[in-house]
Structure 1
Amino acid sequence: MAELKALEYLIASHPLIDNHAHNLLSALSASDYAKYPFESVVSEAQGEALTDQSTKTLAHLRALKQLAEFYECSPTLDEIKSSRDKLIRDNYELLVKRCLEGTQMLLLDDGLNADDVEQYPWHNRFTPGPTKRIVRIETIAAELAKSVFEASLEDDGELIKDGLESLSEPVLLLLWARFRKEFSTSIQASLNDPDVVSFKSVICYRSGLNVESPSPDEMFSAFQSYIVRAAENGDFRINHKPLNDHLVLSTLRTIAGQRAEKGTSKPIQFHTGLGDTDINLRLSNPAFLQGLIEKFSRVDFVLLHSAYPYTREAGYLASSYPNTYLDVGEVFPMTSRDAQESILRQSLELVPSTKILWSTDGHYHPETYWLANKQFREALNSVLSDYLRKGDYTLIQATDTASEILFQNSNRLYNLNQGPEFPQQLPTIIPHPRSSIHPSSVSPSVLELENFLRDNPSVEFIWMQFIDNTATVRLRMLPIRKFRQMVLEEERVTITSAVLNVLQTDVTVGPDPLIAGSFYMKPDLSTLCRNVGIESKSATVMTFWQKEDGSPFEGCPRTTLRNIVNKCHKEHGISILCGFEIELVFMKQQIEADGSVNYVPWTTIHSWSNMTSEIRAGLPSIENIVRALADIDIHLEQFHAESSPGQFEFVLPPSNPLTATDTLIKARQTIVHVAEQHGLRATLYPRPYATSAGTAAHVHLSISPTTREDAFLAGMLAHLPAVLAFTFPQSASYERVRPGIWAGGTWVAWGNGNRETPIRKIYPGRWEWKSMDGLANPYLGVASIISAGYLGLKGDLVPSMKACNVDTATLTPSEREALSITTPMPLVLEGSIAALRKDPALIELMGKDFTSRYIDVRLGEMEMLEDMPDDERRSWLIARY
């Protein structure tokens, strides 16, 4: 289902904003498993519960398998550690980069008490967007309390002269006043700090989410107890409920005041649900925050970590209060696949898609980011695809939901002002930020592109190809990022119309070349194919030619072929299959004494379907060609040596005519590329050696149903001389039109299995058209053949010619007459062109203006080539075809 594919691609490739994460360890500490157990990437447990028991959980086992894929090792903890240790030693930043692929921006709570982490600016180098801070209010408070206390000890004025003994009530009151002032000032400073995007409270760990408004006496008493204890043991962690409640309430008042005064402010995140043994699970239920959410309606609350196992309670709050948001992080990868999908479904039960945020809660080990992002994208795709499949979502709604959760909601809530930046190597169907194309308006072509790029991530460039009237393959090369943008925004590549009158040398010919004007190349994404056998991270795509308004441009070879195939089907119910035999001669380049280039045989001990000593020696080259073709899903029917020195035949599988011809072009290019790697020139030149067999490009056509085969055959015979202008397009083509060399003969005729007639009937409704070679534009050649058959169908022709099952050259005039073989094949190009000019019906189908220009090109090309000496012309053509 195309819609499901579109959604899958979006989720897999859309950049994300990680709205809650933590600092990574430095390279020196990343392998310190005694201090930072690697098992913690999938569990909040500690001690024996972490190292011995958590390893038996489903979440742990799943993570091992995924990490084993990441490190390309066995799925055991020891093997994974060994592999990661090596990468950490070799290139720790590469590991971090890989783990953060797809992340555009990190919002870091840098309040974890760890001395071995990198500071938050260090993380900037790994994401397109800048890393921002989340201020943990309890950490700030502890640092301020310590600094206030230590400053008082050193104050000459002194509050504290004799240590703890002087911590009298008046002294404590002054310390309390200083602390409150410093804390309020710090929160206000953070509100004004552009690097800070949010606040966070871990009161859930300290005293629970049941925040109350303590009295002044309760607050002071808690502070007194706290500071005395801290002064004694040096631990300034705040863990007294009235004091913790005060910190939260003070922060909320400051945030609300900023909103009232300036109209803008910053959210506050609350750890809810899942945690380690330091947490009171019952008091981690976000339902306890309902009163605060109501009271501080000007403050945006973010309920972190899916509030698991209280996801539904959090969802209720986020759905009921406009200032409440639900973060769905941390449970990835802490829970099983089923749990993750269940959590997402529970989140979507009530919560608007515009209020769900994504985060990894990544910390210490880079793999925490990678695992969380990977598993979240998988779960999100599974859940949204299910709703799309069931009709609960339309594609636009599903893609909007994914984009909002991954990126847009955090971007909006935290005022990040980011536009999604899509890495070149990742497939995406989301438009460039400047695009007006909605992600849901994806076409099948876009799906083809993303499917191809997903399967071929190494591709960096796209070659947009077309074949001109001289059968020269021309192209424009685009970086993949530009090509993707072009496809998504439905842009096209402009080509001068003069190409219709251009020779291989780029010289225009004819009385009226189209110097002014253009047509537009539109890529046919179904033809995308990697370039193999060549040192290039590129792929080719064939194109259709269009006018400015998007209508077909006359003369487009692929459009011409597609149109005539469609006419056969729509008007006569005839479906057509097409297949090609590729004949090539492999030659070696030789530089002569005068500097000229000559091409000499690759093999001399050579014969048809034989395995000579030279052929055996050359098998690695031939078999590499077959492997390269298979690598791009061109699977040959068979291949073998042909008669001429160095000549081989490769038989392609049948398909619809347009696809078959696209495959032919790609196969030829691949053969040439691989041959070059082996120091060879693979040429389609029709007659490289005057005393040996020539080289053709035989076409196999079959029609279904076969009930109209006589009419189709009659049309091909009736228009054969004119068709030769397209299938035998150069003077060199007629070097093969000789009797007795298995090249199709010299008379317009057909036969049952007869290779000395231009049309060989193989069985009912299937023929081999032998009179085509590699100098022809194959799209035009096949289009002209089918056009001839179409005219037979249209006129309901009946062939008067009988089957000839011998070499027509051996027949006497009376024997030919008895078979109604009366028309000789043109022996020169001028004869075929003359026949074409006298065939208005064929011209009409191929295009009047196009045909006129095509003839101009062929005559101009003939004149150019005739001015060359024979040897020079031969080398010139071998080098180009």
Structure 2
Amino acid sequence: MSDSDPVPGGRPGEVERAAALGGELSGQGVHGVVLAYVDTAGIGRVKTVPTAKLAAAAAWGVGMSPVFDTFLANDSIVATDVLGSPDGDLRLYPDLDRLAVLAAQPGWAWAPVDRITQEGEPHPACGRTVLRRTVARAAERYGIVFKAAIEIEWAVGRGDAAGDDFVPAVSGPAYGAIRQVELSDCAADLLAALAAQGVDVDQLHPEYAAGQFEISVGALDPVAAADRSVLVRQTIRAVAGRHGLRVSFAPAVLGQGVGNGGHIHLSAWRDGRNLHAGGTARYGMTTEAESFVAGVLDHLPALTAMTAPSPASRLRLRPSQWAGIFTAWGRETREAALRVVTGTTGERGRAANLEVKPVDLAANPYLALASVIAAGLDGLASSAPLPEEITGDPARFGADEAAARGVRRLPGSLAESAEAFRADDVLRTALGPVLADAVTAVRRGEVEAVDGLDDDRVAAAYRWKY
């Protein structure tokens, strides 16, 4: 049922299913269910219901104001001509197919929600609904389905640090064994919790920046992948808290240095075949996959309003830090914005995919995936040619060579990203006018919120928001 919109009174059989689930959950000692979504600013918002009210939530939803679609990360409110007033109400409907008992939060379960109006219509600013419809259109028009995964990087801080300071909870070099040992108990508990919740983990390791770790999880359809990203972050935070630690998924925890990314991995499939492998184009791509990559490349400046949507994102998007800040692609080239991953000989049919690198975890994962897919489909529809690849670091190119190669720096400010998005008809159409206007208003609001702040103060303002 998770592939269709909720309806007042519940979809056929859903209320009965929710009642049975509620009974099972109560028998397992679960007392409440977290109903989760992500707002336009990338902040996770929730309501909760007692387990006994799960059936009522499946039938009639749970009320929440639409004003949150124009909240900023600091909880101040901007407005559009439709959103941002104190008027109105929405209904949050849990997706029972995605419900998970939270292993690190005893007594709680979790479910993502779709949002509909009191009249029973899909809420036009519901990112989860937009992503679901974008995926459905791809299947209907092109016979294509997608597999997606979102990498998660985070900084682990000491829970007893003064105020809102960040003090790394582990020491040692990047990717170092020291860090793994120092976080051993917490990391083992995290793996156990994710396994109990049905999340298949591919890798968990120390990363480059101070106190930084990364987790990679298995690919799913895009809506489920976005749900999984939200659930995994909830679990990381809960496990860390039980160990007296504090975590940040913010793009930049400090004003200088490498930040936290949230790279998107995406592959297009038709009739069980991966279009990024076994083809006659470069590196085994099919011509359709090349055009899909070309579409993403073409829309990258505007996409950053969705994939790197915080003022803190610009502290991460710096040259020569593997953040992918230039409009370029390459095979396994980690400085290019788009990295074509071919996989190892013998598993390329399964593993080949496109990695989108200028993405961080301030992004609403539903909006980020919907926008990237819409951009790729625009390239596919026009059979867009994929330009010459680059190798090495694009920062080394002089102005003339960069121009000849079509390599441009991505927007250097959130204001520029917002303007690029406002001028991009493909992405605005993909989101619809209500949500597109909300995105523009929220991005502009975030720019105004940090006006006059230096890098350190910008990092501090967002350090514990995501």
- TM range, normalised to the smaller chain? 0.7 to 0.9
Whether 2:421 is the aligned partner of 1:836: answer yes
1:727 aligns with 2:297: no
User: CA offsets, 1:85-133, max 9 Å, x none?
Assistant: xxxxxxxxxxxxxxxxxxxxxxxxxxxxxxxxxxxxxxxxxxxxxxxxx
SS in 2 for 1:676: helix
Q: Give the residue type in structure 2 aligned to 1:697.
A: G
State the SS of the aligned residue for 1:553: coil
Residue 451 of structure 1, CA deviation: 4.9
Go from structure 1 to structure 2 and tell me whether the alpha carbon gap of 1:444 and 1:496 turns closer, same or farther (over 3 Å shift): closer
- Residue 603 of structure 1 is aligned with which of 155, 170, 174? 170
Does the C-alpha gap of structure 1 residues 446 and 771 become closer, same or farther in structure 2, counting only changes over 3 Å? farther
Aligned positions of 1:223-622 closer than 5 A? 443=13, 446-447=16-17, 450-451=20-21, 454=24, 457-487=28-58, 490-510=59-79, 512=81, 513-534=84-105, 536-589=106-159, 592=162, 596-608=163-175, 610-612=176-178, 614-622=179-187
Question: 1: CA distance between counterparts of 2:416 and 2:446?
Answer: 16
Could you tell me how far 1:444 is from its partner in structure 2?
5.2
Aligned residue identity for 1:553: H
Who is 2:341 aligned against? Answer: 762
Indicate the residue corresponding to 1:827 in structure 2.
412
Shift in alpha-carbon separation, 1:497–1:867, aligned structure 2, 3 A = farther
Q: Percent of counterpart pairs with the same letter?
A: 28
SS of corresponding position for 2:450: helix
Q: CA deviation at 1:770?
A: 0.7
User: What's the TM-score once normalised by structure 1's chain length?
Assistant: 0.47
**Closer, same or farther: CA 842–691 of 1 in aligned 2, 3 Å:** closer
Q: 1:452 offset after TM fit, Å?
A: 7.4
- Determine the C-alpha separation between the residues in 2 that align with 1:605 and 1:865: 33
TM-score, length-normalised on structure 2? 0.87
Instruction: Identify which of 704, 709, 712 aligns with 2:289.
Output: 709
- Aligned partners of 2:435 and 2:267: how far apart in 1? 27
Does structure 1 retain, via aligned residues, the 8 Å contact 2:329–2:337? Answer: yes
Where 1:637 maps in the other structure, the secondary structure is: strand
Q: Deviations over 1:354-404 (max 9, x none)?
A: xxxxxxxxxxxxxxxxxxxxxxxxxxxxxxxxxxxxxxxxxxxxxxxxxxx
Q: Write the distance in 2 (CA, Å) between the matches of 1:510 and 1:552.
A: 20
Are the equivalent residues in 2 in contact too, given 1:756–1:806 (CA < 8 A)?
A: yes
Deviation at 1:797, TM superposition (A): 1.9
Tell me how far apart the structure 2 counterparts of residues 457 and 616 of structure 1 sit (CA, whole Å).
Answer: 33
Q: Which runs of 5+ in 1 are unaligned?
A: 3-436
Aligned to 2:465: 880
The alpha-carbon deviation at position 691 of structure 1 amounts to 4.9
> Distance in 1 between the 2:406 and 2:22 partners?
52
List per-residue Cα deviations over 1:819-861 (Å, max 9, x = no partner). 333x321111011111111111210111112111221112212
1:794 offset after TM fit, Å? 2.4
Conserved? CA contact 1:471–1:777, under 8 Å:
yes
Partners of 2:413 and 2:256 in 1: how far apart?
A: 20
Q: CA deviation at 1:561?
A: 0.8
Deviation of 1:807 after TM superposition, in Å, equals: 0.9
Cα separation, 1, equivalents of 2:254 and 2:57: 46
In the TM superposition, residue 445 of structure 1 has moved relative to its aligned partner by: 7.0
Give 1:693 deviation, angstroms: 2.3
Q: Cα gap change, 1:690/1:791 in structure 2, threshold over 3 Å: closer, same or farther?
A: same
Instruction: Pick the aligned partner of 1:660 from 204, 225, 235.
Output: 225
Q: Cα deviations across residues 481-525 of structure 1 (Å, max 9, x unaligned)?
A: 2222342xx212222222222224443213542332222212211
Tell me, yes or no, if the aligned pair for 1:759 and 1:770 is still in contact at 8 Å: yes
Select the structure that is richer in helix. Answer: 1
Equivalent positions of 1:37-48 (< 5 A) are none
Q: How many angstroms apart in 1 are the aligned matches of 2:80 and 2:199?
A: 42
Deviation of 1:604 (Å): 2.8
Map of 2:371 onto structure 1: 784
Residues 660-697 of structure 1 show CA distances to partners (whole Å, capped at 9, x for unaligned) of 11111101110011111111111112222455322100
Distance 1:598 1:716 in 2: 37
Give the corresponding residue for 1:802.
388
Q: For the Cα contact (< 8 Å) 1:532–1:673, is it kept in 2?
A: no
CA RMSD, 1 decimal: 2.4
Deviations 1:748-807 (A, max 9, x none): 1111110001110012862001111011111111111111112112223222x2111221
2:39–2:69 contact (8 Å) kept in structure 1: yes
| Cα gap change, 1:715 to 1:737, in 2 (>3 Å) | same
8 Å CA contact 1:449–1:525 kept in 2: the answer is no
AA partner of residue 493 (structure 1): V
Structural mapping, 1:54-65, within 5 Å: none
- Alignment match, 1:624: 189
Tell me the alpha carbon deviations over residues 218-246 of structure 1, each in whole angstroms, 9 at most, x when there is no partner: xxxxxxxxxxxxxxxxxxxxxxxxxxxxx
Q: Which has the larger radius of gyration?
A: 1
- The answer to whether the aligner puts 1:685 opposite 2:250 as a matched pair is yes
Could you tell me whether the CA contact under 8 Å between 1:500 and 1:514 is conserved in 2?
no
Contact 2:19–2:54 (Cα < 8 Å) also in 1: no
Cα shift at 1:447: 3.2
Q: Which residue of 1 aligns with 2:204?
A: 639
Amino acid at match of 2:118: E
SS at match of 2:93: strand
Deviation at 1:869, TM superposition (A): 6.9
TM-aligned CA distance change 1:824 to 1:506, over 3 Å: closer
Work out the CA distance in 2 between the residues paired with 1:503 and 1:497.
Answer: 13
Residue 570 of structure 1 aligns to a residue whose secondary structure is helix
Instruction: State the SS of the aligned residue for 2:389.
Output: coil
Q: Is the 8 A contact 1:604 1:646 kept in 2?
A: yes
In structure 2, relative to structure 1, the CA distance for the partners of 1:803 and 1:829 (3 Å cut) is: same
Tell me how far apart the structure 1 counterparts of residues 256 and 117 of structure 2 sit (CA, whole Å). Answer: 48
Letter in 1 for 2:197: I
Deviates more, 1:757-766 or 1:553-562: 757-766
Q: Deviations over 1:274-304 (max 9, x none)?
A: xxxxxxxxxxxxxxxxxxxxxxxxxxxxxxx
Q: Which residue of 2 aligns with 1:860?
A: 445
SS in 1 for 2:258: coil
Conservation of the 8 A alpha-carbon contact between 2:18 and 2:54: no
Cα pair distance change 1:869/1:526, threshold 3 Å? same
Contact 1:453 1:459 in 2 (8 A): no
- Give 1:718's match in structure 2, choosing from 298, 301, 310: 298
Distance 1:548 1:750, change over 3 A: same
Alpha carbons 1:749, 1:803 under 8 Å: kept: yes
CA offsets per residue over residues 24-67 of structure 1, 9 Å max, x none? xxxxxxxxxxxxxxxxxxxxxxxxxxxxxxxxxxxxxxxxxxxx
How far did residue 589 of structure 1 move? 4.1
TM-aligned CA deviation for residue 617 of structure 1: 2.5
Q: Go from structure 1 to structure 2 and tell me whether the alpha carbon gap of 1:693 and 1:508 turns closer, same or farther (over 3 Å shift).
A: closer
Instruction: Give 3-state SS (helix, strand or coil) of 2:165's partner.
Output: strand
8 Å Cα contact 1:510/1:860 also seen in 2 = no
Ranges in structure 2 where 5+ consecutive residues have no aligned partner: 2-8, 276-285, 343-347
How many residues are paired up? 433
SS in 2 for 1:601: coil
CA distance in 2, matches of 1:635, 1:564: 25
| Aligned residues of 1:583 and 1:648 also touching (Cα < 8 A) | yes
Once residues 249 and 49 of structure 2 are traced to their aligned partners in structure 1, the CA distance between those partners, rounded to angstroms, is 28
What amino acid is the match of 2:250? Y
